[in-house]
Structure 1
Amino acid sequence: MTTSLATPAPWEERERRRRRRDALTSWALLAPTLVLIALLVGYPGVTMIWQSFTDYQVRNKIQGTAPEIVGLDNYVALMTQSDFPEVVARTIGIMVVTTALVMAGGVLVAILMTKLATGMRIAVSVGLLLAWAIPPLTATVVWGFIFDTQYGLVNWALNTLTGTQNWHNHSWLINPWTFFLVLTIIVVWGAIPFVAFTTYAALGQVPAETLEAAQLDGAAGRKRFWYVVFPAIRPVLGGLLILQIIWNMKLFTQVYALQSRGGIAADTNVLPVYLFRQGIGDFGATSAIGVVMVIIMLALSWYNIRLMLREDKG
């Protein structure tokens, strides 16, 4: 009697072996991905954190000498620099504005695409694909010509509309506020297609029966969106929001290209460009800036990440 209770039943043993085999198979399939993540993300991340606590510079690499541990000196020097808090505030401000406009514009375009006829929907899709396919540097150059001081289309249009020459030789990039206006246009124009296509695909997964039932219950279009459509696509919008926060915190190409066309770097730097200009070869100081950037992005994205994980568990 005791032996029969201690010995597992045959089906239990088979189930245990199956689970063990499935676990080993899953880990075997995940192993290449985990190795790539460790090599491409883990190792550089750990190296950056370690270097941020040292005085590692190019001379150490050339001479083959080990850097000295300086503790928090790089972070203290960074936080006490007069321009760093301004650069952080500027970066977050640009991120908030561009992310809000991209998300709102992308969702509105996606909703519009659901209402268009097939021909118009194809035309809008092609236009979005063209805008999305243009590399950021190329798009910045094109928009730079549009806002050019002497030959820009915007200055010509404003002179034509006002009947004056007040906008002749007007520089849009030398003033920080108009610089960021042009930057916002470039970023939003290039990022809306991704949000629009992704949201449009998510809208296609909302059950038509649910929308019809809400309409029969008397729910207007706005109420149907907020109480039926929005809850269904909220996980997708959450993922898009996290991506936009990260991408718009890492703006480099557009800012650097506009600065080279006439923007004042000291007044228009954002964190990635600031890191690049801060000290090429001073790996300790630049690593500290990188760590601060990662912390800010994680802090800004943490709420949405937790919300997505909670919905997945639910």
Structure 2
Amino acid sequence: MSVVDSPSAPPAEQPPAEAPTGGRARRQRRSATSGGFAPLVLTLPALLLLAGLLGYPLVRMAVLSFQSLGLRQLFGNLPPDNVGFDNYVKIFTDRTFYEVVARTVAFTVVSVVLTVVLGLGVALLMRRVAPSVRIAMIVAMMFVWAMPQLVATQTFRWLVDSDFGVLNYLIDLLPGVDFANHSWFADPWQGWTVITTIVVWAGIPFIAITLNAGLTQVPKELLEAAVVDGASVWQALLKVTLPILKPLLIIVTTLSVIWNFGLFTQVWVVRNGRPEEEYQVLATWSYSTAFNNNNYGLGSAIAVVTVLLLLSVMAFYMRQMFKIGDVD
């Protein structure tokens, strides 16, 4: 009798592996790319350098904001008087503080909006011109970006000079217009127009070059599909291009807010180191209080308040950076 081999039983089916949830997948991705202590070791020299350059001045400024330090203590070798929160009480009970904060915020909003909108317009233009023209635009904007703020501000100051400024000369050539010896800073609105122009002119290159790089990542297929579906140029910009550029727009806008909120050089130079009350912003007010009025404790307190206000913007910036990192 022959023995017939019975067919072997099929192997039991293994249950499909459970897909990791969103939170667990994110943790696995982070653990796979964290690299242990290597990132900390690599960034430690930079952190130590920043702590040495910025840490001590910040701590010293914070301590000084609770003291009264003037010329008597500075040149009389006397210890500064501890006054507690008196300097902060003087700040928050002074009407000038709220006027300066409002002026600083208003300037920041206007200058940032103008810089981002004009920078985006230049970036869009760069995508439509010939490559040789685009390279020329980038080189020209890099020269503008590399120019020191002091040099750029002094140049604009000469352009609007009341006696020898070329801008007054050109405007005076218009029929029926008398702009000879016109002072642009006698009227605060005109003066702030000049200051805002300097800041926006210097800020456009960074925005334009950065957004131009971001526009290269916008798929042409999406734009072509939008045009085929009947979308206009503005609709394609609002519905396709800007949503893709949104993370980059948030970053450059936040950086512009941080830079413009700390405005100092432009105001200080155009007003000859003695800005009038209507030209004071937080940075110049702190410096004037400390070094022009020899009240270093109160000036330090104003600087501390300015840093705290900037930290709120920095917190938003870091939050956006972490969110973009999670998406990537």
* TM-score bucket (shorter structure): 0.7 to 0.9
Instruction: Write out per-residue CA displacement over residues 119-175 of structure 1, whole angstroms, 9 at most, x where no aligned residue.
Output: 3223322332232222212112221122111222222222211245x2111111122
| Counterpart Cα distance in 2 of 1:296 and 1:22 | 35
| Counterpart Cα distance in 2 of 1:181 and 1:196 | 22
The reply on whether 1:205 has 2:217 as its aligned counterpart is yes
Q: CA deviation at 1:59?
A: 5.3
Counterpart selection for 1:161 from 153, 174, 178:
174
Q: CA deviation at 1:193?
A: 0.7
Native 8 Å contact 2:123 2:209 kept in 1: yes
| Counterpart Cα distance in 1 of 2:84 and 2:149 | 38
Native 8 Å contact 1:99 1:245 kept in 2: yes
Which is helix-richer, 1 or 2? 1
Matched with 2:86 is 73
Matched with 2:132 is 119
Counterpart selection for 2:283 from 272, 281, 292:
272
| Counterpart Cα distance in 2 of 1:186 and 1:306 | 30
Matched with 1:217 is 229
Instruction: Write out per-residue CA displacement over residues 161-208 of structure 1, whole angstroms, 9 at most, x where no aligned residue.
Output: 1245x2111111122111101111111111111111111111112233
| Counterpart Cα distance in 2 of 1:204 and 1:271 | 38
Native 8 Å contact 1:242 1:305 kept in 2: no
Say if 1:163 and 1:63 are closer, same or farther in 2 by CA, change over 3 A.
Answer: closer
| Counterpart Cα distance in 1 of 2:180 and 2:167 | 10
| Counterpart Cα distance in 2 of 1:232 and 1:213 | 15
Say if 1:111 and 1:288 are closer, same or farther in 2 by CA, change over 3 A.
Answer: same
Q: CA deviation at 1:83?
A: 2.1
AA paired with 1:231? P
Any unmatched runs of 5+ in structure 1? 1-17
Q: CA deviation at 1:63?
A: 6.0
| Counterpart Cα distance in 1 of 2:105 and 2:232 | 37
AA paired with 1:299? S
AA paired with 1:37? L
Counterpart selection for 2:207 from 187, 195, 203:
195
Native 8 Å contact 1:176 1:267 kept in 2: yes
Q: CA deviation at 1:38?
A: 2.1
Matched with 2:159 is 146
Counterpart selection for 1:245 from 233, 257, 269:
257
Q: CA deviation at 1:49?
A: 2.1
Native 8 Å contact 1:238 1:308 kept in 2: no
Matched with 1:99 is 112
Residues 1-314 of structure 1 mapped to structure 2, 5 A cutoff: 22-57=35-70, 60=73, 66-164=79-177, 166-260=178-272, 265-280=276-291, 282-300=295-313, 302-314=315-327
Native 8 Å contact 1:174 1:264 kept in 2: no
TM-score in terms of structure 2 length = 0.81
Native 8 Å contact 2:290 2:297 kept in 1: no
Say if 1:36 and 1:299 are closer, same or farther in 2 by CA, change over 3 A.
Answer: same
Number of corresponding residues: 294
Say if 1:149 and 1:168 are closer, same or farther in 2 by CA, change over 3 A.
Answer: same
| Counterpart Cα distance in 2 of 1:46 and 1:279 | 17
| Counterpart Cα distance in 2 of 1:232 and 1:248 | 26
- The sequence identity of aligned pairs, in percent, is 37
Q: CA deviation at 1:55?
A: 2.3
Q: CA deviation at 1:249?
A: 1.1
Q: CA deviation at 1:277?
A: 1.0
| Counterpart Cα distance in 2 of 1:33 and 1:130 | 28
Instruction: Write out per-residue CA displacement over residues 269-299 of structure 1, whole angstroms, 9 at most, x where no aligned residue.
Output: 1111111111225332122111111122233
| Counterpart Cα distance in 2 of 1:221 and 1:148 | 42
| Counterpart Cα distance in 2 of 1:301 and 1:27 | 21
Native 8 Å contact 2:68 2:297 kept in 1: yes
TM-score in terms of structure 1 length = 0.84
Say if 1:62 and 1:23 are closer, same or farther in 2 by CA, change over 3 A.
Answer: farther
AA paired with 2:46? T
Say if 1:152 and 1:267 are closer, same or farther in 2 by CA, change over 3 A.
Answer: same
The alignment yields a C-alpha RMSD, in angstroms, of: 2.5
| Counterpart Cα distance in 1 of 2:154 and 2:37 | 51
